[in-house]
Amino acid sequence: MSETQTIRVGLGDRSYNIDIGHGLLSTLGKRLAPFTNRRHVAIVTDGNVAKHHLASVEESLTAAGITHASVIVDPGESSKSYAGLATVCDGLLAAGVERNDLVLALGGGVIGDLAGFAAAVLRRGVRFVQVPTTLLAQVDSSVGGKTGINSPHGKNLVGAFHQPQYVLIDLSLLETLPQRERRAGYAEVAKYGLLGDAGFFNWLEEHAGDVIAVKPGSVDHAVATSCQMKAKIVAEDETETGVRALLNLGHTFGHALEAATGYSGKLLHGEAVAIGMVQAFRFSAKLGLCDPSLGSRVAKHLKAVGLPTHMRDISFNWPNAGELLRFMRQDKKASGGKLTFILVKGIGEAFIAKDVSDQHVLDFLNEDFART
Ligand SMILES: NC(=O)c1ccc[n+]([C@@H]2O[C@H](COP(=O)([O-])OP(=O)(O)OC[C@H]3O[C@@H](n4cnc5c(N)ncnc54)[C@H](O)[C@@H]3O)[C@@H](O)[C@H]2O)c1
Ligand SMILES: [Zn+2]
* Among protein residues, the one whose CA lies closest to atom 9 of ligand 1: 109
Q: Which ligand is nearest the CA of 240, by number?
A: 1
- Tell me the HSE value of 73 on the side-chain side, using a 13 A CA sphere: 32
**Interatomic CA distance for residues 208 and 109, integer angstroms:** 22
Q: What is the pLDDT of residues 292-337, one digit of tens each?
A: 999 999 999 999 999 999 999 999 999 999 999 999 988 755 666 7
Specify the pTM.
0.97
Closest C-alpha among 363, 251, 257 to residue 314: 257
Of the listed ligands, the closest to the CA of 80 is 1
Q: Which residues of 199-218 are buried (b: 16+ CB within 10 A; e: fewer)?
A: ebbebbeebbebbbebeeeb
What end-to-end distance do the CA atoms of the chain give, in Å? 43
What pLDDT, on the 0 to 100 scale, is given for residue 335?
A: 65
Ligand of minimum distance to the alpha carbon of 149: 1
The Å distance, Cα 270 to ligand 2 centre, comes to 6
Report the candidate in 97, 124, 126, 111 with the shortest Cα–Cα distance to residue 46.
111
Q: Measured in angstroms, how far is the CA atom of residue 288 from the centroid of ligand 1? A: 36
Q: What is the pLDDT of residue 1?
A: 45
Dihedral angle, C-alpha 347, 348, 353, 359, nearest 10 °: 20
Q: What stretches in the chain show pLDDT beneath 70? A: 1-2, 332-336, 372
The number of the ligand 1 atom at minimal distance from the alpha carbon of 75 is 37
Q: Which of 134, 191, 229 for mutating ligand 1's site (highest number of atoms within 8 Å of CB)? A: 134
Pocket around ligand 1 at a 6 A CB cut-off: 46, 48-49, 52, 75-77, 80, 107-111, 113, 133-134, 136-137, 140-141, 144, 146, 155-156, 173, 176-177, 181, 269
Distance 229 CA to ligand 2 centre (A): 14
- Give the span between the Cα atoms of 42 and 267, in whole angstroms: 32
Q: Residues 6 or more apart from 140 whose CB is under 8 A from it?
A: 109, 185, 188, 226, 230, 247
- Distance in Å, CA 138 to ligand 2 centroid: 12
In this structure, the chain runs to a length of: 372
Pocket perturbation via mutation, ligand 1, pick of 141, 149, 155, 223 by most ligand atoms within 8 A of CB: 141
Q: Which residues 6+ apart lie within 8 Å of 110 measured at CB?
A: 46, 75, 76, 77, 79, 80
pLDDT for res 104: 98
- Per-residue pLDDT at 346: 98
Point out which residues pair with 16 in neighbouring strands: 9
pLDDT of residue 246: 97
In this prediction, residue 330 carries a pLDDT of: 81
Return the pLDDT at 241.
92
Residue 167: alpha-carbon gap to chain centroid: 14
pLDDT confidence of residue 2: 62
User: Cα angle at 219 between 217 and 223, to 5 degrees?
Assistant: 120
CA of 336 to the centre of ligand 1 (A): 31
DSSP label at 187?
H
Q: Are 74 and 111 in contact (CB under 8 A)?
A: no
Q: Enumerate the active-site residues.
A: 124, 146, 188, 230, 240, 244, 248, 251, 255, 269
For residues 264 and 259, give the distance between their C-alpha atoms in angstroms, rounded to a whole number: 9
Question: What whole-number distance in Å separates Cα of residue 135 and Cα of residue 253?
Answer: 22
- The answer for residues whose C-beta is within 8 angstroms of residue 358's C-beta and 6 or more apart is 325, 339
